[in-house]
Structure 1
């Protein structure tokens, strides 16, 4: 079934999978039934400034399942941005 035409342009842009060029830490959940954790090299194709990558013991809702890991990642990226600006 076709989606809402209002979002066609956004869908097209996302389908192109643009590289994200801001400092990024990827947290791959190990208990997610929807996706499997990927390796760091796989993530480098999507993030040009990959600051870090780690597997965390979490399900599909990582912020709920591993809030400490998410908070640490946010603080780590914030500290990196402050050091480089």
Structure 2
């Protein structure tokens, strides 16, 4: 059985991928009601990579490598 947390993580990852596609295609992003990764993205864009990685791991319960890659992708 998949936990709510695992489902939330999967949805967050899918939203991240869709956002990347919108940017790649140079399309405007649709308005979102709530993005739990917004604080992570703000830290990453402010150059605070380590705090961003720590927060990403807390939110998503992922490993260090995946969190590092995700945060780096947010700044591209």
**Range class of TM-score, shorter chain:** under 0.3
In our comparison, the structure showing a higher alpha carbon Rg is 1
**Which of the two has greater strand per residue?**
1
**Alignment TM-score, normalising by the size of structure 1:** 0.24
Q: Could you say which structure has the greater relative contact order, defined with CA pairs below 8 angstroms and 6 or more residues apart?
A: 1
